[in-house]
Structure 1
Amino acid sequence: MACLSSPDFIPRWQYSLSAEFQQNGVPAGSEPWVTEATKFAVGGEPASWCSAPTELRSRRAWAPKSTCFTVDNLEFHPRGRRLAASYTRRSPPPLQSLVRVWDLDAAPDLRDEDGLAGAAKEVVAAASPTLLQRWSAAGLSGTLPSFVARVFSHDGRSLLYLPDCKTVTVVDAATLTERFQLSGHTDAIMWAETSPNDKVVATSSWDRTVRIWSMESGEALRILSRADGQSWAGAFSPDGDVIAAGAGDGIVRIWGVDAGQLLFTFSGFGGWVRSLAFSPNGLQLAAGSGGGSLRIIDLKSWECVQSWQIDVNKTGRALAGPFLEIVGVQYTSRGDLFFCASDGHMVGYRPSQNLKWDFLRPSLANGIWFKTFAISKDGSKLISSLGSNVGIWKIH
């Protein structure tokens, strides 16, 4: 039997679903509500490459043969033309991580006539080899939080980064001077984000806790500690009243932020839950997990109202099941849902019209298994890496 990393696995893989989006027994339709707008090449064929997932849902970061960089995380400032980037130099040794904040106004004008490729070209420029090689420039030693964390505060005044795996540092986004540190976790922090009103910060860690901190002082306010496995992704509700966290025990827990009370648990996932997103109206929670499972939970009835499941039995549950994962779950401001399966498919679902969209990225054949897409703030465009290209779709 072929192993997952062998050349024989991809040709043998059969993509099919055992559960699909539907409403009142009617399967989701496939009318063209997401259409390709443009595509452009990142660059020529380099001497060597590193593939990397990013918060802008990555591109390949090309580097000289003697140096290998991976871009771990990227995020635009919510109100300006600044970009926070964390990246790692993996060779030559020693391993080095760095966080930089780039002023995009200092870059050449990259707008195009219809404005579709501008944002993507800015990302390409900001993460280009020229910038990645500037290790002598000032930066923050560390990494940015992952698992779809928003590393900037909602008011744009603060930036969260990890100087080490167990600590979050809150810095002034304009000056990069430290405000305070969040210390107390006893294992690696996977996710960190400010609440929608920027009053608190939440962190999720492998020490099986989610912690709530004051955004004013950095004081630890509450420790949420019911998980029986490593705690991974988190998400605030749009009103900031509740927080959801996924764990390695295959359970989603929903807590009240102010009192720290456990409101609800939802189990039955096929593996760890590492991707969560609330709908814009706060009435539903989408959760992606290992085993190729995506579920949408109604927060009034506390029931699963939608289920999307890859049929892992087509290749063999023992082989593919533990490695298939739903990642990067995101709602647009319009209420459309997008996510990636780790076999390379990008999937969209529009609940208002019961419509789906499915696209297989060619990067699958090159072994890139991560979520690699971004959605514009107004929910009208989707940007993704396509191997050595960047593709942009219109969401109608």
Structure 2
Amino acid sequence: MKPYHYTIDQLYRDWRYAVEKDFVTADGKPFPYALGGHLQWGNEDRKLSLSGKPRDACLSGDGKRAAIVVDRRIQVIDTETWETIIILKGHTRPVDGLAFKPNDSNILVSSEGTDADLISRDAEPTIIVWDIDQAKKAPRLEESDLHGISKDVTAVAASKLEGLGLKLKASGQAELETALASEIDRVMAKQGISDNTRICGRLHIGHQPEIFNPSGTQMVYSPGYAPESDDTFSWDVVICSMDDFMPVLTLKGHTDDIKWSGWSPDETFLATVSFDKTIRIWDAVLGHQVHCFERDHYNWAGAFSLDSQHFVATDGQGIIRVYALHAEETLHWEFQAEGPKMWRPSVAWHPNGKLVAIGGKRDAEILLLDIAKKEVVQRRLLSGRDSKIDGEAHPMIPGRFVGVNEIKFVDGGNKLVVWVSGDGSIEVFDLSKEVKWRFARGGTEDGPEAEKWIDENGKVTSEAGSGMLVLEREGKLTLASVDFDGVRLWSVPLTDRRLGALSKGMA
């Protein structure tokens, strides 16, 4: 039989939201939607238009600024007004990672050439350090100026060619104008970062990585080009000072790609999770290896507990392991959920230190685990049963590509927020009030707003997004979905602190 190939593009056209298993209330019923909590595109509070398709985004530690990647540019936005502060130019290839320095919304780092499959050896992988306030003072080349210059240069070129008996047709002039504008923009952008700190290296761009230590005094990255995936090559990790960006420590031992790295909250440890089947815990001050946990499969993600006593990690078979870092017996709990094996690349600790949320890459699985009791508290699974499949594909195939890419506890641990790839939507679960919200990608559910996103063949026309930003301020959560056609803002009320927080109730 001829094999059937199902693509991500097909998934986004076919997918329709359906729940197989949901979070349940104390009396065993599925979480209901909060009042006004079931919305889709067209119902957002506000939509921000960008100069192109966004690829990635991050939020400053104080929540005052957002940085959104649009190809080779970074659009910095004031989250009070949601107006653009500046567009940073200087990268010559698409930006693939970025992060604000903690406690300083003025300093941003970004990288290009991190993905080993995309690196051209004639261009180094580069990390750029941006001082946003300084960049605002520099002269800027506006689009109108750029096109005016390219038009004038084209006119001169056409005149010179005509003197040689060669006529540059209108279509050729238009093509030359476009090419000149692009090249002038590139050259001036490159020249504009001549005073910026630049590092030949790669940011770790896995699922929810931690680029900086909590105090913002140090940064982690991998130096130079990505090596070949081979036991003979060392995939080093560098910790550098944010004062002068000089290396403080070089950590050696990994032999394959680093999928996640991050510091313990007390900054004593750095963890690196790798495809070389090891999880390594390093002394972040002296640089020696404290633990090396060897597994049978690739490793995907990890996270430290808030008290820095435990570390949770997931591997390519979906096995979840919790390590007690200061105990004689370090493996505290090993857990594999029922059902198909899957990657589980998204991890978040609850503020109370007893619960861990895990996001899976199949059927948008969410696991809420009680680490102390070693049991599953909640489990959510989506279903592909309502998806509109053509041809030979099995109706459950779409679910295999629908995964939780981001997961985060907010509102003092009362709420869990997730962004689901494939579905392309944000969901919020209030664990104390036992209700939920959903902000759905256009066309993934029925409703009057869905018609705009459905074509004559019943296929969804909205495309893949790239994630979310979550901001707590002024008594509400602001959720920004980074969609293919812009950024949509949604809001959810925060818990009234007079009612008591879930984290206290579970203490």
Q: Shorter-chain TM-score: which interval? A: 0.7 to 0.9
- Determine the structure 1 residue equivalent to 2:70: 61
**CA separation in 2, counterparts of 1:6 and 1:216?**
43
Q: How does 1:281-292 map to 2 (within 5 A)?
A: 281-292=352-363
2:441 is aligned, of 340, 358, 361, to 361
- Determine the structure 1 residue equivalent to 2:203: 144
Q: How does 1:1-396 map to 2 (within 5 A)?
A: 3-5=5-7, 9-24=11-26, 25-32=28-35, 36-43=44-51, 52-55=55-58, 59=68, 61-63=70-72, 69-81=93-105, 82-88=107-113, 94=122, 96-108=124-136, 137-145=196-204, 146-163=206-223, 164-165=225-226, 166-225=235-294, 227-259=295-327, 261-268=330-337, 270=340, 271-292=342-363, 293-315=365-387, 316=394, 319-335=397-413, 336-343=415-422, 344-361=424-441, 365=461, 367-368=463-464, 370=466, 372-376=467-471, 380-396=477-493
**CA separation in 1, counterparts of 2:407 and 2:130?**
26
Task: Classify 1:215/1:312 alpha carbon distance in 2 versus 1 (closer, same or farther; 3 Å).
Answer: same
How far has the Cα of 1:384 moved from its partner?
2.8
Q: Per the alignment, in what secondary structure is the counterpart of residue 4 of structure 1?
A: coil
Deviations 1:293-325 (A, max 9, x none): 111101222111111111135553663243222
How far has the Cα of 1:132 moved from its partner?
8.1
- The answer as to whether partners of 2:300 and 2:314 remain within 8 angstroms in 1 is yes
**CA separation in 1, counterparts of 2:55 and 2:320?**
27
How far has the Cα of 1:252 moved from its partner?
0.7
- Determine the structure 1 residue equivalent to 2:231: none
How far has the Cα of 1:69 moved from its partner?
3.2
| Structure with the bigger percentage of strand | 1
Task: Tell which deviates more after alignment, 350-359 or 134-143.
Answer: 134-143
Q: Whose radius of gyration is greater, 1 or 2?
A: 2
| Structure with the bigger percentage of helix | 2
Aligned length in residues: 369
- The answer as to whether partners of 2:127 and 2:200 remain within 8 angstroms in 1 is yes
Deviations 1:342-367 (A, max 9, x none): 11121111101112111223599464
Amino acid at match of 1:143: R
TM-score by length of 2: 0.65
CA RMSD, 1 decimal: 3.2
- The answer as to whether partners of 1:83 and 1:101 remain within 8 angstroms in 2 is yes
Structure 2: where are the runs of 5+ without partners?
A: 38-42, 60-65, 74-90, 138-184, 227-234, 388-393, 443-452, 454-459, 494-507
Task: Give me the identity figure in percent.
Answer: 24
- The answer as to whether partners of 2:12 and 2:464 remain within 8 angstroms in 1 is no
**CA separation in 2, counterparts of 1:174 and 1:196?**
20
**CA separation in 2, counterparts of 1:274 and 1:87?**
22
How far has the Cα of 1:26 moved from its partner?
2.5
Task: Classify 1:33/1:180 alpha carbon distance in 2 versus 1 (closer, same or farther; 3 Å).
Answer: farther
Deviations 1:170-196 (A, max 9, x none): 011132111111110111111111100
Q: Per the alignment, in what secondary structure is the counterpart of residue 27 of structure 1?
A: coil
Q: Per the alignment, in what secondary structure is the counterpart of residue 198 of structure 2?
A: coil
- The answer as to whether partners of 2:113 and 2:119 remain within 8 angstroms in 1 is no
- The answer as to whether partners of 1:167 and 1:189 remain within 8 angstroms in 2 is no
**CA separation in 2, counterparts of 1:167 and 1:30?**
47
Deviations 1:110-135 (A, max 9, x none): xxxxxxxxxxxxxxxxxx99868967
- The answer as to whether partners of 2:282 and 2:290 remain within 8 angstroms in 1 is yes
Task: Classify 1:101/1:253 alpha carbon distance in 2 versus 1 (closer, same or farther; 3 Å).
Answer: same
Q: Per the alignment, in what secondary structure is the counterpart of residue 320 of structure 1?
A: helix
Deviations 1:85-127 (A, max 9, x none): 2233969874642212222233549xxxxxxxxxxxxxxxxxx
- The answer as to whether partners of 1:296 and 1:306 remain within 8 angstroms in 2 is yes
- Determine the structure 2 residue equivalent to 1:121: none
- The answer as to whether partners of 1:68 and 1:91 remain within 8 angstroms in 2 is no
Deviations 1:123-177 (A, max 9, x none): xxxxx99868967554112222221012110111101111255221101113211
**CA separation in 2, counterparts of 1:154 and 1:28?**
35
- The answer as to whether partners of 1:384 and 1:392 remain within 8 angstroms in 2 is yes
**CA separation in 2, counterparts of 1:365 and 1:2?**
23
- The answer as to whether partners of 1:167 and 1:182 remain within 8 angstroms in 2 is yes
How far has the Cα of 1:383 moved from its partner?
2.5
- The answer as to whether partners of 1:231 and 1:247 remain within 8 angstroms in 2 is yes
**CA separation in 2, counterparts of 1:369 and 1:389?**
9
Task: Classify 1:74/1:333 alpha carbon distance in 2 versus 1 (closer, same or farther; 3 Å).
Answer: farther
- The answer as to whether partners of 1:55 and 1:148 remain within 8 angstroms in 2 is no
Task: Classify 1:338/1:374 alpha carbon distance in 2 versus 1 (closer, same or farther; 3 Å).
Answer: same
Task: Tell which deviates more after alignment, 133-142 or 244-253.
Answer: 133-142
Task: Classify 1:133/1:52 alpha carbon distance in 2 versus 1 (closer, same or farther; 3 Å).
Answer: farther
- Determine the structure 1 residue equivalent to 2:88: none
How far has the Cα of 1:395 moved from its partner?
3.2
Task: Classify 1:339/1:95 alpha carbon distance in 2 versus 1 (closer, same or farther; 3 Å).
Answer: farther
- Determine the structure 2 residue equivalent to 1:124: none
TM-score by length of 1: 0.82
How far has the Cα of 1:37 moved from its partner?
4.0
Task: Tell which deviates more after alignment, 68-77 or 250-259.
Answer: 68-77
How far has the Cα of 1:374 moved from its partner?
1.8
Task: Classify 1:7/1:234 alpha carbon distance in 2 versus 1 (closer, same or farther; 3 Å).
Answer: closer
